[in-house]
Amino acid sequence: MEIKVPAVGESVMEALVARWLKQEGDAVAKDEPICEIETDKITLEIQADAAGVLNIVVPEGETVRIGTVIGNINEGAPAMAAPKPAEKPAAQPAEPPPAQPTKAAPGRETARETPPLAAEPHEEPPTSPAGRKLARELGIAADGVAGSGRGGRVTAEDLRRHEAESRREPAPEAKATPGPAPAAPSGLEAAPRPAPEASPAEPGRITRKPMSPLRKKIAQRLVSVRQNTAMLTTFNEADLTEVMQLRKRHGEHFLQRHNVKLGLMSFFIRACCEALVEFPEVNASIEGNDIVYHNYCDIGVAVGSEKGLVVPVLRNAERLTLAQIEQAIVEFGTRIRENRLELADLEGGTFTVSNGGIYGSLLSTPILNPPQSGVLGMHSIQERPVAREGQVVIRPMMYLALSYDHRIVDGKGAVGFLKRVKEYIEDPQELLLEG
C-alpha cells in the first residue's frame, strides 16, 4: 500500500517530510501515526491505512509535491529489517583482534624507549627554564648559542646578545631572503602559525538549518504586510482590577462548572466582539476596490508553537460565552501540540487577538494578519501607581496596542475602538458575565 502526501487545501502545493515516526522495516499497525509532514500553514500526521512493514521512499527533510508517494506498507509481511541492524554490531568485535599483535611485540617497546633517551639530552645545552622561555619568545634555538654561565649554561644575557648580533650581521642577506623571522632555524616557531589558518574552519561555530514551510510563509506574510498595507498602531492601558477580582471570586466555581479555568483571553475576546459591532471598519477587509464589512466576528487567537506562530479562528465568537471561548482555546492548544489542527481552523478570520504578555512583553506593536484590518495586542500585567479620584493608588495595569490598516480605519475609529475595549475590561460586570 502506497503512502502519499495528502491534499490539505487548494492553495497548498507541496509539503516537507518533517519526521518519520517509524523506521525502515518497522512493523506498523493500522491507524498508527507513521509520518509527520509540514506545509506552509499546518503540520499534520499521516496514519497507516493498513498493518504491515514500513518501507521509506522519501527521507526526512525533503520537500515533495502533494500526492507524492513517500513510502509503502507491505501488508502482512513480517518485520524482516529488525535482525539486520543487529548483525552490524556483531561484526564490529571482529575488527579489534588484528590490533592485538601490536601489544604483543616487546622488542618494539624497548626500541622505542632507548632512542629518545639517547638523542635529546646530549644535544641540548644546559639552559634555565627562564632562558628556555626567553628563547621561545625571541625565536632563537638555544643549541646555537655559546653559554657563558657555570658549566656552559646559556644565560638570558647570552640569548639577548646572540639575538642582537644576529640582527646586525644578517642584515645584508635579509634583502634576498624576505622575512628574517620565518628563516630562523627554531622549530618552536612553526607551532603557532597554523592556528590562525585553522580557526575559520573550527567546527561548531555555526549551525545551518533549512527554513520550514511554515517559517517561510510567516516571513513572506510579514514582508507583505509592510509593503502592501498602511499599518499604524495606537496604544492605551487598562486597569484589570475588576477582571482579576471576578476571576478570584468566581474562578473555582467556573472551573467546577465548565471544567476549564477562567482566563483573561475570554474577557478580551468578548470585549472586542462588542467593540467591533460599534466600529465595523476594524472588522472589515479590502477586496480589489471594495471594502467588505463582516457582520460576524471570526476572531483569530495567536498561539506560539515550536514551529512558529499559528492563528486558529474562533467562529462566530460574538455568540460564545466565556466558558465556550475558554474551552475552544484549550482545545486549539491541544490540537496544535498533537498536530491535529486542520487547515480550515486557520482560514477566514476577521480580527486577531495576540497575547504577548504570556512571554513577558510589556509593550509591543502587533503586526496585521492580512487581509484583516486590525489586531489587538495584549501585554503583561504590572502593578503601577495610577491616579484615581485625586489619589495615587497601585493597580494591576496592562498596556494595550491596536495595529490597524489606515487604508480602511481612520485614527478616530482606531482610538475609539481601543478605548471601548478598555472600558469593557475595566467594568465587565454588565457586559461579559452572561455565561
Catalogue the active-site residues. 406, 410
β-pairing, 351-355 vs 374-378, is parallel
Which of left, alpha, beta for 117 (phi over 0: left; psi -120 to 50: alpha)?
A: alpha
- Determine the Cα–Cα distance for residues 22 and 30; give it in Å rounded to an integer: 13
First-last CA distance in the chain: 50
Q: Which residues of 42-72 are buried (b: 16+ CB within 10 A; e: fewer)?
A: bbbbbebeebbbbbbebeeeebbebebebbe
- Determine the Cα–Cα distance for residues 32 and 48; give it in Å rounded to an integer: 5
- Determine the Cα–Cα distance for residues 80 and 25; give it in Å rounded to an integer: 7
Cell of 413: 475609529
Residue 365's CB is within 10 A of a number of other CB atoms, namely 13
| Surface-to-core class of residue 78, CB atoms within 10 Å of its CB (0-12 exposed, 13-18 middle, 19+ buried) | exposed
Nearest Cα neighbor of 236 from 385, 363, 365, 399 is 399
Cell of 93: 568485535
Q: If you write DSSP's letter for every residue of 113-175 in order, what string do you get? A: HHHHHHHHHHHSPPB-HHHHHHHHHHT--GGGS---SGGGPBPHHHHHHHHHHHHHTTTTGGG
Cell of 407: 487604508
Cell of 120: 635529546
- Determine the Cα–Cα distance for residues 314 and 281; give it in Å rounded to an integer: 19
